[in-house]
Structure 1
Amino acid sequence: MTTKTGKPLDQKSLDAILKRRLFYTPAFEVYNGVAGLYDYGPPGCTLQANITDTWRKHFVLEEDMLEVDCTMLTPAEVLKTSGHVDKFADWMCKDPKSGDIFRADHLVEEVLEARLTGNKKARGEEVVVDEAKEAKKKRKTKDTGAIKLEDAVVKEYEETLARIDNYDGAELGQLITKFEIKNPVTGGDVLPPVAFNLMFQTSIGPSSNLAGYLRPETAQGQFLTFQKLLEFNQQAMPFASACIGKSFRNEISPRQGLLRVREFLMAEIEHYVDPEGGKKHPRFSEVRHVKLGLLDRKVQLSGSTQLTYMTMGEAVDASIVDSETLGYFVVRIYLFLVRIGADPQKIRFRQHMANEMAHYAADCWDAELLTSYGWIECVGCADRSAYDLSVHAKKTGAPLCVRETRKEPLKIEEWALDLDKKKFGPTFKKDSKAVEAALEALTQDVREKLSLDLANTGKAEIQVTGLASGDSTVEIGKDLISIEKRTRVEHVREYTPNVIEPAFGIGRILYSVIEHVYWSREGAEARGVLSFPPPVAPTKVLLVPLSTHPDFKPLVQRLGHKLRQLEISNRVDDSSASIGKRYSRNDELGTPLGVTVDFQSVKDHTFTLRDRDTTKQVRADEQTICKAIESLVKGQKTWADIQHELPEFTQQDVD
């Protein structure tokens, strides 16, 4: 992967900066740490807070969403109903000799990519540094030697990798056997894949009688407050709820830093929509023209990863994206990622294939960001249909639905069924409930046919499951049942909404954006720069007195106070290092702006304002400088705007 300067990303230098500047660090490190658990340091914590603040403004505020904060502890019964207890799993395989455990799809992917890299080496082809790093997956492997592969084998490997997310456990096991995939470190055989549930189980209360889990997503809490939120919203549809909070997944083999962890921050939206409205969105016209790189499931199943660039309007019109509402949120996700610093050229939207689709989803598109680890899923945008509300309503009897008065009463002609309850129970005895349930489930067409049978023969036969006698058919006479056509009038419409769910992994987004904004400034000594957009940068302004002269201190203090009043974070660097070195240190932290206090400032209260990326400076009075900083931090203006408005300052070289 390359930086914005066109040079390869120096992963080693970036990692050194993140460690030295304490963006994040392994948790419990003095106890040798625990894989998949990390702590954020001061700049990482602030960066995360700024990203979530921007998320709230971009979605909750702009889309008028209802934000909730749901508990992380979830009773097992809730997640059993939602399907997570049975289906929220990845495929795991184990090396019985070494005890090493792998996620099966990642193991296949890692070994095949390593072999493809070895094939390129053997053929004398150029191997891009990032590609080799992606193949090795950050660990030594026995499968990276220079070995020539037949063209047909290369093609088969590439097609397998393009479809890797679509294989189930049995198919992954077949691939492991077919391609003779071993433990990449020891070369040992691995056992066939088995399902591993990713949820952390716990118990609630002192008696430990109530089983529970740490939530794997924030969604279930939102679904179970649906009825109250609908009432809060004065029964108006459509509407959306939103939640930011921690979720937990017991990853099989966590690695790649913040990209695969066991505890992480999520930001999720549940947008409720009337299914009869065709999932239209009133603001879709605003995003129709936005062009995106799409990787649909048909292309993946053909063994290709070639992106198709098209506008969202074209994608929805061609039914590549299922609906206007789904397409609207895909574009809004894209605009959010660009807003916080993601490189538009390193964003793609990949459609889920059938086998990788979550058990609740009707369609799903992932926003994936290109990093040194390859394409990383950072946001999922799923059409959950009416699955969750329906299963919870069925389980609990709660009215998780919308009831709205029809503008005009609806007349419905239907075949109504009446039972003689006094005779029905004694006739069928233990089977009466099963027979009655089968009758109630009959379609209108079948009821019409049975009404004719009753009229012609005086009896009718129906199929029933679960009879005590073991039979599958029962005969019912017209003395027990009558079926006739009636007209009823509906004044109220009742329906279960469909749900469009954008779900954001904040940690993954944070790390991917760090890679996207990192670059090295040319010079005698390469200096790393993190070009965060001002609204999300951890610290907005560096205040730099020219020296330790006592006349500078009150000016620095007053500037800092004014900026804090404007809610703009700032810090002072009054060390003995040169101004250039002081700015360089803070370029590593991503601080976008710097204010220099010099002897001219003492005379006329003017200050220089420096831009991190260009190192250009302008000079103006205190009020003008503060106003310019505020407009930049709020994203209202760019540095180009400020350069156009204020005089450039070139007399003093501060870099």
Structure 2
Amino acid sequence: MATTLPDNASLEQDLVVAQAAVTKQGDTVRSLKASLKEKKADKAQVEAAIEQLKNLKASLDLKQKEFQSASGKTSSTNREAFRDAVKTVLERRLFYIPSFEIYGSVAGFYDYGPPGCALKQNFTQFWRQHFVLEESMLEVECPAVTPEVVLKASGHVDRFTDLMVTDVVTGDCHRADHLLEAALQALLDGKPKPLDTQERQAVHHLLATVEELNVKQLGDALEQYGVKAPETNNDISRPFPFNLMFKTSIGPRGDQVGYLRPETAQGIFVNFRHLLYSNGGKLPFAAAQIGQSFRNEISPRAGLLRVREFTQAEIEHFCNPDAKDHPKFQSIAREQPLLFSRALQMSEEKQPQAMQLGDAVSQSIIANQTLAYFIGRTYLFLLRVGINPKRLRFRQHLANEMAHYAEDCWDAEVECSYGWVECVGLADRSAYDLRAHATKSKTDMSAYEPFPDGSRMVDVLVAAVDKREVGKTYKKDGKAITEALESLPEEEKACMQADLAAGKPCKVTVGDAEFAITAAMVQIKQEKKKLTGRNFVPSVIEPSFGVGRIIYCMFEHCYATRKGDEKRSLFHFKPIVAPVKATVFPLFAQPTFIDQAQAVAALLTAAGLSTIVDSTGASIGKRYARTDEIGVPFAVTVDHQTLEDSTVTVRDRDSTTQVRVPIAEVQALLTELVKGRTWESMQQQYPTHASAADDN
């Protein structure tokens, strides 16, 4: 009996189901690792989940190959093949290319070509309009080179590290955890030989806990399993911490250490006092910065998603820690993004759910209105630039992912061929950053808030310093130490009071020096004072946007091929970010037509609409296809009728339909379309123009 092969649609549906299963199991592994930290799950459960994930990935790979073999084409579900198709167009049309290509390129660096550069500029300009202008934010621009003391205070100098190993022969560098994970996975795959049950269990356990290994444990594991350098098979060094910041020197003598900033946020924090003054001393307010950041990745991969230089757009919203409501919250309260809360990640289904942001706040799923407000504004922004809402979710950090100082954290994750990618981080960072800089710089980073009902009697902590005791111990430094103790912030006085009562050592910093403080030198006591207001260190709500990551996901979400002609690719860019808003075509390469086309283009350019005139001798259909491939949303054609009645045709890229419009109205019409007017509404205003040009 002959067997019947499943049709391509059935195979593609199988791929969709298999990919969903892999995604769900990946979330299961992550939630079990979080439960392991909280001792709500055991190691055997984590190991079993990893084994199941491996099997599901193997099944997905087989289904992808089966589909490609049966259909002779790729599917968007076949992630690697789809990614290659998108990348081919992006590089061929110079959206971006590897930097320094004629010298062999350097991993982790990319150049944006003409259409990519234009699209990125449009993206950041719309970000500025959507956030900075509409929210009346204070925008700053700070240097990329940052003195070491700033990044010492923020914690980047000590903690911004990955563990690295080197090839002892070639000196090539590799991420230690990546090498171990690859080696362990090869063992589970039966290479170089199958493992017995006990060995397999040990490998499973280690693979489940690689992220938790310290430097010694990671080094011991690499030695135990004989891990070698990839490609060369040479021995590797013991792992050691590698700071991901680019180190440099400031000044001609080179004696002042600096770094290329790993994020743009610190420039905002160190300018807090000036920004508060600029805002009239009032809270809340937000400051923003768009700029380059640098991370010296050990082994960058995944194209624009992991690079060594990238553009960030960050917001720091400063507010009263006891009042995190937002005055414009109701404007987004009914928005329903997909929320992947902590509870949903730990549930059996492991699926995000659409939920009104107002409900998420009232049910304490999102910590406060201000954080939810920025989630809503971020959601609307991502939709406006072309991210598919069905492939966008906001995932809450699990307990083991949260920084100790954070109140709540969510990531805007976008699904692309690399899986779910974190593109925006939204965090309530409490007052951690301002406190860190206040402590290191000995600068007041507090804000003042008058009491609404006038003066009050308030309990305050006062440092009663025994100046004789301090002077006897520290001589000439006594005066500075006394002043430092008396000016300690309320929270630091409370900590010192508790430590002194417990007999613990205490220190105070003056300049670059630290001095030990004893109970004989200072007494921290509570007193009542009549005050008209209070000082406090503001909390910070931080949305941080990875511009390159969002743009890459946007490339994939907007990529398509023409129905019936899969070799004819195009990008469905939203007009607001499209690199070119319109192309102008003379139907024939004759002076009369070309002159009229250039006159129309001049009108559009005068309105700020980027325009290309294509007067090549190719057919109009081929010229349409060329501009479709770089995502130009509209095309204007000068034809015979233009010379008779001063009208032109305007074509929509997505539907390929055309209308005839008077030249005098083209500028205003395209401006409206770029700002968001729908093509359908415009079709009701102007007569349809029938053309078979797209078939030529």
TM-score (norm. length: structure 1): 0.81
Equivalent in the alignment of 2:41 = none
1:209, CA displacement in angstroms? Answer: 1.1
Equivalent in the alignment of 1:515 = 556
The answer to whether the 8 A contact 1:165-1:356 is kept is: no
1:193, CA displacement in angstroms? Answer: 4.8
* Unaligned ranges ≥5, structure 2: 1-14, 17-72, 508-515
Residue 394 (1) aligns with residue 435 (2): no
Residue 338 (1) aligns with residue 377 (2): no
Residue 583 (1) aligns with residue 611 (2): no
Residue 246 (1) aligns with residue 330 (2): no
Residue 622 (1) aligns with residue 622 (2): no
The answer to whether the 8 A contact 1:88-1:199 is kept is: yes
Following the alignment from structure 1 to structure 2, what is the Cα–Cα distance between the partners of residues 390 and 483?
A: 20
Once the two structures are superposed, the pairs formed by residues 182-331 of structure 1 within 5 Å of their partners are 193-277=239-323, 279-297=324-342, 306-331=351-376
The answer to whether the 8 A contact 2:463-2:485 is kept is: no
Equivalent in the alignment of 1:527 = 568
Q: Which one of 522, 534, 547 corresponds to residue 506 of structure 1?
A: 547
Q: Which one of 579, 604, 615 corresponds to residue 563 of structure 1?
A: 604
Equivalent in the alignment of 1:123 = none
The letter of the residue matching 1:531 is H
**Residues 381 and 481 of structure 1: is their aligned pair in 2 closer, same or farther, counting only changes over 3 Å?**
closer
1:103, CA displacement in angstroms? Answer: 3.1
1:43, CA displacement in angstroms? Answer: 0.4
The answer to whether the 8 A contact 2:311-2:546 is kept is: yes
Bigger drift between 302-311 and 190-199 goes to 302-311
Equivalent in the alignment of 2:64 = none
The answer to whether the 8 A contact 2:470-2:482 is kept is: no
**Residues 492 and 57 of structure 1: is their aligned pair in 2 closer, same or farther, counting only changes over 3 Å?**
same
Equivalent in the alignment of 1:46 = 118
**Residues 519 and 624 of structure 1: is their aligned pair in 2 closer, same or farther, counting only changes over 3 Å?**
same
Following the alignment from structure 1 to structure 2, what is the Cα–Cα distance between the partners of residues 308 and 106?
A: 33
The answer to whether the 8 A contact 2:448-2:536 is kept is: yes
Following the alignment from structure 1 to structure 2, what is the Cα–Cα distance between the partners of residues 113 and 202?
A: 38
1:640, CA displacement in angstroms? Answer: 1.7
Residue 82 (1) aligns with residue 127 (2): no
The letter of the residue matching 2:505 is T
Secondary structure of the 2:455 match is strand
Secondary structure of the 1:35 match is coil
Bigger drift between 586-595 and 382-391 goes to 382-391
* Unaligned ranges ≥5, structure 1: 120-141, 448-459
CA shift digits 1:319-353 (9 cap, x unpaired): 33222211211221121111111111111222334
1:549, CA displacement in angstroms? Answer: 2.7
Residue 496 (1) aligns with residue 537 (2): yes
Equivalent in the alignment of 1:639 = 679
CA shift digits 1:339-369 (9 cap, x unpaired): 1111111112223345544576443222122
TM-score (norm. length: structure 2): 0.76
1:653, CA displacement in angstroms? Answer: 3.3
Equivalent in the alignment of 2:132 = 60
Following the alignment from structure 1 to structure 2, what is the Cα–Cα distance between the partners of residues 226 and 474?
A: 33
The answer to whether the 8 A contact 1:158-1:303 is kept is: no
Following the alignment from structure 1 to structure 2, what is the Cα–Cα distance between the partners of residues 53 and 47?
A: 10
1:68, CA displacement in angstroms? Answer: 0.6
Following the alignment from structure 1 to structure 2, what is the Cα–Cα distance between the partners of residues 429 and 553?
A: 87
Following the alignment from structure 1 to structure 2, what is the Cα–Cα distance between the partners of residues 378 and 483?
A: 46
Following the alignment from structure 2 to structure 1, what is the Cα–Cα distance between the partners of residues 374 and 604?
A: 35
**Residues 485 and 599 of structure 1: is their aligned pair in 2 closer, same or farther, counting only changes over 3 Å?**
closer
Secondary structure of the 1:222 match is helix
Say what the alpha-carbon RMSD is for the aligned residues: 4.2
Following the alignment from structure 2 to structure 1, what is the Cα–Cα distance between the partners of residues 307 and 334?
A: 36
Once the two structures are superposed, the pairs formed by residues 395-474 of structure 1 within 5 Å of their partners are 395-407=440-452, 408-413=454-459, 421=467, 463=503, 465=505
Secondary structure of the 1:463 match is coil
Following the alignment from structure 1 to structure 2, what is the Cα–Cα distance between the partners of residues 572 and 541?
A: 9
Secondary structure of the 1:291 match is coil
Equivalent in the alignment of 1:456 = none
CA shift digits 1:292-317 (9 cap, x unpaired): 23334466578985334433233333
The answer to whether the 8 A contact 1:24-1:41 is kept is: yes
Following the alignment from structure 1 to structure 2, what is the Cα–Cα distance between the partners of residues 443 and 525?
A: 68
**Residues 239 and 573 of structure 1: is their aligned pair in 2 closer, same or farther, counting only changes over 3 Å?**
same
Residue 36 (1) aligns with residue 108 (2): yes
**Residues 55 and 387 of structure 1: is their aligned pair in 2 closer, same or farther, counting only changes over 3 Å?**
same
**Residues 332 and 166 of structure 1: is their aligned pair in 2 closer, same or farther, counting only changes over 3 Å?**
farther
1:545, CA displacement in angstroms? Answer: 1.2
**Residues 393 and 312 of structure 1: is their aligned pair in 2 closer, same or farther, counting only changes over 3 Å?**
same
The answer to whether the 8 A contact 2:464-2:523 is kept is: yes
Following the alignment from structure 2 to structure 1, what is the Cα–Cα distance between the partners of residues 276 and 441?
A: 18
1:428, CA displacement in angstroms? Answer: 11
Using the aligned pairs only, state the percent identity. Answer: 45
The answer to whether the 8 A contact 2:506-2:518 is kept is: no
The answer to whether the 8 A contact 1:249-1:263 is kept is: yes
The answer to whether the 8 A contact 1:165-1:353 is kept is: no
1:554, CA displacement in angstroms? Answer: 2.4
Aligned length: 607
The answer to whether the 8 A contact 2:411-2:426 is kept is: yes
1:629, CA displacement in angstroms? Answer: 1.1
The letter of the residue matching 2:312 is M
Secondary structure of the 1:364 match is strand
1:527, CA displacement in angstroms? Answer: 0.5
Following the alignment from structure 1 to structure 2, what is the Cα–Cα distance between the partners of residues 437 and 90?
A: 37
The letter of the residue matching 2:319 is V
The answer to whether the 8 A contact 1:518-1:531 is kept is: yes
Following the alignment from structure 2 to structure 1, what is the Cα–Cα distance between the partners of residues 124 and 227?
A: 41
CA shift digits 1:236-268 (9 cap, x unpaired): 210011111111100011112211111111111
Following the alignment from structure 1 to structure 2, what is the Cα–Cα distance between the partners of residues 252 and 484?
A: 51
1:540, CA displacement in angstroms? Answer: 0.7
Higher RCO (CA < 8 A, seq sep 6+): 1
Secondary structure of the 2:322 match is helix
Larger helix proportion of the pair: 2
